[in-house]
Structure 1
Amino acid sequence: MRHLLNHALRWIFGGLLYGLLEIIWRGHTHWTMIVVAAVLCIPLDIANEHIPWRCPIWAQAIIGGTIITVAELLAGCVLNLWLGLGVWDYSLLPGNLWGQICPQFWALWCLLAGPVIVVFDWLCYALDGGERPHYKWFLGVPG
């Protein structure tokens, strides 16, 4: 039970952090974005638990950014296309898919996923103990 609560704490933290970043970046956010960001943290957190430490942090960030993008596509299809909330629209950006995802935001999610993975790892270590977080920049080379 404690392990699940610690996961939930990381997800809530991720949602609130995203909401804050969006307010700083755009000057506003929609309440659903905080919820969506928290939900998007679930697959990121679960994948992060299963990626070995020997995987370079940049590769973990690309995996995390890709997971976030796939989850964003699913959330966008529900929130924006099905429910018509119009929370985000990337349709003016090149390479977009149905206005819900685009390569530019995939790159941004990859850049943000790296630090979020590190924060999640340290929160996990602080709350659950276990192995102290450590990272590599390249396969087989300590970071």
Structure 2
Amino acid sequence: MKTGVGKYIIIFGLGAFIYGAIEVIVRGYTHWTMALTGGAVMALFMLINRSRDVNILLRCLLGALVITSLEFAVGAVVNLGLGWDVWDYSEKPFNIMGQICPLFTLGWFALSLPGFMLCTAVEKRLSSR
């Protein structure tokens, strides 16, 4: 499992678990779609992290944009399309269709750093086997 799909499965699982846990700690609950979103984010982070010649701040900016974009896409499907009301940012300033709050992108930027660090740790751990 040193290369290939295995590392993406591991990072997806970690991302799903960690994102869900953060939401439970911060909001008191989560939704299964958020776990899937967290897993997808981390799998994309693993791809982005392959470009280590790219400055970490630029990778974090890209990470923040990935998170915000996925949040909008998932929100458009589960909240607007299916009406599940998993979240609603309508009362947040500068929100877009109640699905994303661009101000939160700053927080996603900050959380991207430990996300990329986790990807690096998983990569190193798997390559040492």
> What TM-score, normalized by structure 2, do the two folds share?
0.89
Find the aligned partners of 1:118 and 1:47 in 2 and give their Cα distance: 12
Contact 2:45/2:119 (<8 A) preserved:
no
Find the aligned partners of 1:30 and 1:19 in 2 and give their Cα distance: 8
In structure 1, the partner of 2:99 is 100
Contact 2:68/2:102 (<8 A) preserved:
no
Q: What displacement does 1:62 show?
A: 1.1
- 1:49-103 per-position Cα deviation (integer Å, ceiling 9, x unaligned): 2x2x233322211111111111111111111110111111111111111111112
Q: State the number of aligned residues.
A: 127
In structure 1, the partner of 2:70 is 71
Computing the radius of gyration over CA atoms, which structure comes out larger, 1 or 2?
Answer: 1
Gaps of 5+ in 1: 130-143
Contact 1:22/1:29 (<8 A) preserved:
yes
Identity %: 33
AA aligned opposite 1:77? A
- 1:20-54 per-position Cα deviation (integer Å, ceiling 9, x unaligned): 111111111122211221123232222222x2x23
**Alignment pair present for 1:31 and 2:64:** no
